[in-house]
Amino acid sequence: MSKHQKNTLEHPYLKSNLIERRLYQETIFGCCAKGNTLVILPTGLGKTIIAVMLAVHRLEKFPGSKIVFLAPTRPLVNQHFESFQKFLIDDLIDALSILTGMTKPELRQELWKRSSIIFITPQCLENDLVQGKYTLKDVSLLIFDECHRTTGQYAYTFIAEKYREQAKNPLILGITASPGSEKEKIEEMCNVLDIENVEIRTDISPDVSPYIHPLRVEWKKIPLPKGFGEIKTTLESVLKEHLKMLKEMEFIDTYDLRRVSRTDLIRLQGEIQSQIHDEEDIVDPQFLGAIALVANAIRISYTIELLETQGLKALNKYIEQLEKQIRRKGGSRVLKEFMADKRTRKAIFLIKELLSKGKDHPKTEEIQKIVKEQLEASKNSRILVFAQFRITAKLVASVLDEIEGVNAVRFVGQSKRKGEKGLSQKEQAEILQKFKQGEYNVLVATSVAEEGLDIAECDLVIFYDTVPSEIRNIQRRGRTARKSAGKLIVLMAKNTRDEAYYWVAQSKEREMKRLLNEIKGVSKSLKEEKEKQKIKTLDSFFPEDKKKREEEMKESIEIIVDNRERASQVLRNLSKMGFKIHFKQLQIADYVLSSRVGVERKIVTDFLQSLIDGRLLDQIIDLKTKYQKPLLLIEGEDLYGRRALHPEAIRGALMAISISLGVPIQWTKNEEETAQLLSLISKEEKKKGISEIKAYTKRETPHVTTIQENVIAGIPGVDTVLAKRLLLELGTIERIFTSDEKYLKEIKGIGPKLAEIIREIAISEYSE
């Protein structure tokens, strides 16, 4: 990077006079150029600029190579693409491409070939690498945006491993504003990305502080009204009673409400359920009782949180959802008991009484006041409000929209949840653009606005509630004071979870900074330590074997996999072994290994469910009919411990498959073992010269009789045998659904309850 007289960076690939020279960015860039680097930098201080600097450096150093920029979502991918377009010379802009799941696979391959800088989502890249559509061989820089996501089975982990394996000149850049406060996760991220250097800057770093704009933070503690206190006390008495019973049953150590969080209860719920599944014989009734108590305790805890932090309208909406659930057929008995409790009924009465008087959380009045004052002081202000829940975002946007001069809009994610319609990415982009242009001056957002999105500079950010996450807290805060002084107001309901969550987040943030400083101190010797620990591999002792394996990899074995298996870790493992994978919508088998081998893979839960709903035997018969060497593969170790079916029923099904149908069954412990088995079979088929793959993507149209049986077997409580009996007795589907309950009950196997269900299905109005 050369210096320019106007104090801007100059490079043959960069437009002139655009990028201001900043010492900390150049220092970090210098470090990144030497080895795999994790860059932790506050929001708004130019992480993308560092990525641009490093990208042009690598393209100059390795002509003809590629740069790949990974970002978790399509909006972020588009944002980074636009940033690079802004800074790069016109000749290079044509070599930039966006690749996401919305891009057709064949076009992705073409764009990959002719592009120098590629912006892509990790899920998309993972799928293409698994299928062998292209490799990372020529990628000289791989950038992981929001790299704190690099844990567990997230796509970043697989991609990093593939990159180390394939790239000729690898270099990794991980960028984030907040990696979290859990040491294990930070260490996992560093290990996966093979980090050699850690570059950290905070608001008080000497080289960064000149570029930090003042951020004034105000905490507004709002006391709950008297009516809220009575509702809270009533609900807490129910919760305390549940916790006391759990303590007496020795599932928890205390029933002190301050010491048992909802997170603790959710963890306990999982532990009890796993113990129930592990039982071979009769389950202790105490376990079932505990499950019911925990389920209700979680609901009550959530109800209290809504009351304390969100308000009566949000709480009433949740109660209406619970009431709707208990009115459904087969509604939870545990939930019905909770809703029927006198204290619960009293709380509901008090909530509705306050709402009828026009009361809600005092935060709504406070936020109206704050927004009015801000716009009076500066009528061109842009204000961003963060709310934890969608229903709250909707209510707050509605309340603020009533203020003269306010044009508020709700900004939420894509998915539809509990009747709340989400926003498509196109709608999100349009809202952000209108916010930048000033058409909207108040944006009320959920967590979707926290991570990375380029939201217009805000004069004021308001936390309607608090979250116990240091990452989210930092990201929320980073939406203001980016280009000029900013203001943050945190609304906290006094003596509630709002306060507790705020201080939890603060504590985690301090711990994160401590850990990062610790890691930075260690990072200086990371590279040397790795070199010391390197040992000679088998390849160095047996170079001929290495050459042979490389030749084998060139002739990678192809297999066909059903689309529904895309999320499976099995595919990642097969890809690592060098298999070339093709996805198709298979109607028969999950994995096709040759013209004669088709494999139906069932994890234990799917095996039991497909046995219950009658799919299993049909699938196995289809498999046997089409493939000379069919195989049923069952993955998992607790087939008899899940209590979904009687063990004898499971054994009977296994006997029918293996003995009566003659289809062999193989067992594997996990996805890794499954991949090893499939690999072994595929290689054996190739050795025998059976390389052709035969897949069935369309099932033959079933006979009308089969369709009729399937329609009736779709009624809850009706299996295939009973469906045939109903059809034989009444002749047609029409007669089954038009017969009255009295007549239906006379048919063998159809009791009063089942007759009632059939009639209800027949006469109920359809609702989407």
In a domain, 177, yes or no: yes
Q: 476 and 582 in one domain?
A: no
- Domain end among 687, 713, 732: 687
Is residue 513 in a domain?
A: no
- 238 contacts: CB under 8 Å, gap ≥ 6: 300, 338, 341, 343, 344
- What would the mean pLDDT of 694-698 be, rounded to a whole number? 68
Q: Which amino acid is at 570?
A: V
pLDDT above 60 for 545: no
Q: What tokens appear for 512 in the block? A: 């994160």
CA distance 2 to 443: 41
Q: What is the mean pLDDT of residues 432-443?
A: 88
* 518 within domain boundaries: no
Which residues sit opposite 385 in a β-bridge? 444, 462
Q: Contact at 8 Å (CB) between 488 and 480?
A: yes
**What's the confidence (pLDDT) of residue 665?**
93
Q: Each residue of 328-353: pLDDT tens digit? A: 766 677 788 888 889 999 999 999 99
Do 375 and 470 lie in one domain? The reply is yes
What is the domain-level CATH number for residue 242? Answer: 1.20.1320.20
Strands 139-145 and 66-70: what pairing? parallel
Looking at the chain, the whole-number percentage of residues with pLDDT higher than 70 is: 85
Q: Kindly state whether residue 620 falls inside one of the protein's structural domains.
A: yes
Q: Is residue 349 included in any domain, yes or no?
A: yes
Question: Rounded distance, CA 365 to CA 222, Å?
Answer: 11
> Does residue 86 sit within a domain?
yes
Nearest to 262 by CA among 313, 229, 305, 309: 305
Of 316, 332, 356, the residue at which a domain comes to its end is 356
> In this model, does residue 63 exceed pLDDT 90?
yes
Residue 282, pLDDT above cutoff 50:
no
**What is the domain-level CATH number for residue 744?**
1.10.150.20
Q: Are 182 and 216 in contact (CB under 8 A)?
A: no
**pLDDT tier at 138, thresholds 50, 70, 90:** very high
Report the distance separating Cα 246 and Cα 287, nearest Å.
10
Count, residues in the chain: 768
Same domain as 461, residue 313: no
> Beta-carbon neighbour count of residue 402 at 10 Å?
9
Residue 528 pLDDT greater than 60, yes or no: no
Q: Both 244 and 295 in a single domain?
A: yes
- Please give the radius of gyration of the chain, using alpha carbons only, rounded to the nearest integer: 30
Contact 79, 454 (CB under 8 A): yes
Q: Is the pLDDT of residue 537 over 70?
A: no
Q: What is the mean pLDDT of residues 269-275?
A: 73
Please name the helix (run of DSSP H) or strand (run of DSSP E) that holds residue 556, with its range, or none.
Answer: none
Going by the DSSP 8-state scheme, the letter that residue 639 receives in this structure is T
- pLDDT at residue 271, as a whole number: 77
pTM over 0.75, yes/no: no
Asked if residue 265 has pLDDT above 60, the reply is yes
What's the average model confidence in pLDDT over 469-498? 72
Contacts of 299 (CB under 8 A, 6+ apart): 322, 335, 338
Question: If you average pLDDT over each of 51-55, 514-518, 737-741, which comes out highest?
Answer: 51-55
Domain shared by 11 and 145, yes or no: yes
In a domain, 529, yes or no: no
Q: How much of the chain exceeds pLDDT 90, in percent?
A: 23
The answer to whether the CB of 626 falls within 8 A of the CB of 600 is no
Q: Is 417 helix (H, G, I), strand (E, B) or coil?
A: strand
Q: Are residues 409 and 264 in the same domain?
A: no
Tokens matching residue 228: 């809220």
Q: Chain-wide mean pLDDT for the chain?
A: 82
Listed range (642-646, 656-660, 731-735, 755-759) with the worst mean pLDDT? 642-646
Provide the pLDDT for residue 478.
Answer: 64
Identify whether residues 73 and 174 lie together within a single domain: yes
Task: State residue 451's pLDDT score.
Answer: 59
d(Cα 512, Cα 505) in Å, to the nearest integer? 10
In three-state secondary structure terms, 767 is coil
CB 13 within 8 A of CB 60: yes
Average pLDDT over residues 140-146: 95
Q: How confident is the model at residue 211 (pLDDT cuts 50, 70, 90)?
A: confident
Give the separation between CA 57 and CA 10, rounded to whole angstroms.
Answer: 12
Q: Assess if residue 47 is contained within a domain.
A: yes
Helices (H) and strands (E) in the chain, counts: 32, 21
Domain extent, residue 161, equals 2-211
Judged against a pLDDT cut of 70, whether residue 526 lies above it is answered with no
Give the residue among 753, 767, 757 at the shortest CA–CA distance from 736: 757
Q: Which of 466, 552, 557, 548 is nearest to 509 (CA)?
A: 466
| Model pLDDT, residue 61 | 94
Q: Does residue 563 share a domain with residue 485?
A: no
Is residue 670 domain-shared with residue 755, that is, in the same domain? no
Residue 144 pLDDT: 96
Q: How many domains does the chain have?
A: 5
CATH number of the domain to which 13 belongs: 3.40.50.300
Q: Contact at 8 Å (CB) between 12 and 30?
A: no
Q: Which of 111-115, 168-172, 246-250 has the lowest mean pLDDT?
A: 246-250
pLDDT, position 540: 41
Q: Are residues 390 and 418 in the same domain?
A: yes
**pLDDT recorded at residue 3:** 45
CA distance 286 to 250: 10
Which has the higher per-residue pLDDT, 569 or 555?
569
Where among 334, 356, 378 does a domain terminate?
356
Determine which of 142-151, 315-324, 534-543, 635-644 has the lowest per-residue pLDDT on average. Answer: 534-543
184 and 288 co-located in one domain = no
Q: Copy the structure tokens of residue 93.
A: 């802009």
Dist CA 561 CA 132 (whole Å): 13
What is d(CA 236, CA 229) in angstroms, rounded to the nearest whole number? 10
Same domain assignment for residues 391 and 457: yes
